[in-house]
Amino acid sequence: MRDDIRIVLIGDDGVGKSTLVTALIKETFIVNVQAVVPEVTIPPEVTPENVTTHIIDTSSASDAQEVLEMELRKANVVCIAYAVDDRTSFQRVHTHWLPFLRLQGINLPVILVGNKVDLRDEDPLNATVLEDEVVPIMNEYREIEICVECSAKALLNVSELFYFAQKAVLHPTRPLYDARDHAMKSKCSEALVRIFRLCDVDGDGILNDAELNEFQRQCFNTPLQNRELEGVKEIVKASRPDGVVEGGLNVEGFLYLHLLFIQRGRVETTWMVLRRFGYGNDLSLREDYLSPEYDVPPDCCVELSPSGYSFLIEIFKRYDVDGDSALCSEELEQIFSLSPGVPWKHNKFPDSTVTNAAGYVTLEGWLAQWSMTTLLDYKQTLAYLAYFGYAGDIRDGIRLVGRQSGGLGSSLRRRKKGRAARSVFLCYVVGAAGSGKTSLIRAFARKPFSPAYTPTSRTATTVNSVDLKGSEKYLVMQEFGPYDTSVLQSRRQLDACDLLVMVYDSSDPSSFAYLTNLRKNYSLDQVPVIFVATKSDLDYVEQRGDVPPDIYCRELKLNAPVNVSVKSGQIASVFQRMAAITRSPQSATPSLLLARPQAWSAARILGVTALAGVGLVSSLVAYHAIKYWWTNVLHSRPSSSSSSHMPRRNEL
């Protein structure tokens, strides 16, 4: 809603424009006023619509043409005045002023103002003639909102004139109603049908008393009494009997009720409903409603809040018409008919998430898909919460969580800031062509194995939940094409990654070298990593390269590669291992692991012994034992050909 309005009065000289303005502000008729009164500003507290109102008087003189055009470009509504006792001034409305506005490219609401109605009695024919001629003009010029007859001298309808001018801006009739056809416009009907569906919580096509009352509370913050509810239904039933059925108001009755509001001059009531559900003057959902400001600090990411999850569960259950705990294509179509459509078509939804055997999206898959969307593009989630009719501020449906960058210090900082623990993590899956990346991420979404090979041409994503010691975590698995290394070159995209899944084909001798080259060419050691060897059902081959995969991982202080076979279903709990790394990223981050001092040196053994409370004597004994071992065992070990034995404990 705007907070100020500019009303510009135009018309022939002598029709009483200036007198109307002075009559409004002085509340009395002033005989002699100046030709053009200065701009008048009325504060919001004294106007019915609670907006600051600027009233601009103009002159029709040729030397004031430039000023007139400038004021019209700044106007929000135009009042064209004529005198009811001067037929020429009325005719010029049609022959000069309305064409003049169109010539200037002015497409604003217009109020026709018939002033000096107190003089009409002097010529009784004027009433019928003008009435017969005003209607055709309004039909031809649809920008005309209303025709108001008034009298500055008699103070008749003066304040009403400016009130209607305010309403024409704040609650315009034109987008809602076709005065020529006496019917509601299609965009208005579509918006109201969508609102009806959002309020029909049980999905039975009827607004029962409880749903009507909730609708009334949401839009007007006042519940209806039982007699008022019955009164509403009786009003509809009187003219539209098919609009009221047993149990309440159907969609036809709901639309007819709003048609009555508009036709009876209560268009602001319909606008209050439309604006409560996010519609702007063009009957499209407003940008600020779909995408409100939401600041995300660099060290944070966004997830669904508990209320966001609850709302999406409610939507799932509402549209699961057959009650099979899954959404078929028809049910999904019904859900997304409230919006521009399914937002994940590029990702081959529902292949990206969990479905049942028939390919229908389960509740688990539905929530997983929205968890992924919120992590990758929270603005899309906000927009769809609005499309689906989230009650209240849609920003309450999401929450900020701190990014887990590894290390005890960051964990302590997150707790100090009071941020919630994360539950959704992003995993980049990289590897050579044919290494099995697609099969791996499809297995994660519980899709059947396909022996057909299709090269990855664009980013593919799957999502699922993993139970980790009673805590549910969502992993978003994002696969990239073998030559799409832009993600590894971007510091911002790498910072968003919680786990790098490096995949190689254990039956292809060149596959692991692709990964070692990636690490050599890009700065990847700051990201937690897990190596996965696929196709373990095939014959194992030695990987070409200086170091075998297990030794390579050991040198990075990482666990050895996890061997899996998607084809035979041998997954080796690899996804649980991934989830465990996201909980403790420092355990798999090469840069952190390589920065640690060498484990179990003689000095560290002495230090640990001392910390254990053994005392100085025990420390000395331990020192001499190590010295004996070093001198007499390691340095005096016999050759492999001679007989030898490992020293027993009592020999030390």
Question: Do 588 and 558 contact (CB within 8 A), yes or no?
Answer: yes
pLDDT digits (tens, 9 = 90+) for 258-281: 999 998 889 999 999 999 999 998
pLDDT-derived band at 646 (thresholds 50, 70, 90) equals very low
At 142-180, the pLDDT tens digits run 889 889 999 999 999 999 999 999 999 999 998 999 877
Q: What is the pLDDT of residue 416?
A: 38
Give the C-alpha separation, 303 to 240, whole Å: 47
The percentage of residues in the chain with a pLDDT greater than 70, rounded to a whole number, is 87
Tokens coding 377: 């593009």
pLDDT at 485: 75
- pLDDT tens sequence across 317-349: 999 999 999 999 999 999 999 999 999 988 889
32 band by pLDDT with thresholds 50, 70 and 90: confident
Beta partners for 207?
A: 249
Token pair in block for residue 329: 């294509």
- Check if the beta carbon of residue 507 is closer than 8 Å to that of residue 535: yes
Task: Give the burial string for 218-253 (b: 16+ CB within 10 Å, else e).
Answer: bbeeeebeeeebeebbebbbeebeebbeeebbbbeb
Give the pLDDT band of residue 46 (cuts 50, 70, 90): confident
| Selection from 502, 498, 459, 449 nearest residue 475 by Cα | 498
Give the per-residue pLDDT at 630: 45
pLDDT category, 598, cuts 50, 70, 90? Answer: low
In this prediction, residue 59 carries a pLDDT of 93
Q: What is the pLDDT of residues 13-28, one digit of tens each?
A: 999 999 999 999 998 9
pLDDT of res. 372: 97
Over range 194-215, report the average pLDDT: 94
Given a cut of 50, whether residue 448 has pLDDT beyond it is yes
State how far Cα 102 lies from the chain centre.
Answer: 39
Helices 378-387 and 306-319 cross at an angle (nearest 10°) of 50
Q: What is the pLDDT of residues 462-476, one digit of tens each?
A: 999 999 888 899 999
CB 24 within 8 A of CB 158: yes
What is the predicted pLDDT for the residue at 122?
Answer: 57
Query: What local confidence, expressed as pLDDT, does residue 224 receive?
Result: 85
Nearest to residue 575, comparing CAs of 420, 408, 425, 407?
425
pLDDT category at 523 given cuts 50, 70, 90 is confident
- The Cα 59–Cα 362 span in angstroms is 69
Residue 415: what pLDDT? 35
525 pLDDT more than 70:
yes
- pLDDT score at 617: 42
Residue 607, pLDDT above cutoff 90: no
Give the number of C-alpha atoms closer than 13 A to the C-alpha of residue 642, restricted to the C-beta side: 6
State the pLDDT confidence band at 194, using cuts at 50, 70 and 90: very high
Q: Tokens for 237, please give them.
A: 């039933």
pLDDT at 418: 41
Query: Residue 353's pLDDT is what?
Result: 97
The larger pLDDT score, comparing residue 595 to residue 602, is at: 595
Q: Average pLDDT for residues 493-506, to the nearest whole number? A: 94
For residue 487, what pLDDT is reported? Answer: 86
pLDDT of 606 reads 41
- Grade residue 136 by pLDDT with cuts at 50, 70 and 90: confident
**Average pLDDT of span 581-598:** 90
Please tell me the distance from the alpha carbon of residue 282 to that of residue 450, in angstroms, as a whole number. 49
pLDDT of 446 > 50? The answer is yes
Q: What is the mean pLDDT of the chain?
A: 87
Tell me the three state secondary structure of residue 229. helix
Q: Are 111 and 168 contacting, i.e. CB atoms less than 8 angstroms apart? A: yes
User: 3-state class of 127 per DSSP?
Assistant: helix
End-to-end CA distance of the chain: 88
Q: How far apart are CA 152 and CA 18, in angstroms?
A: 10
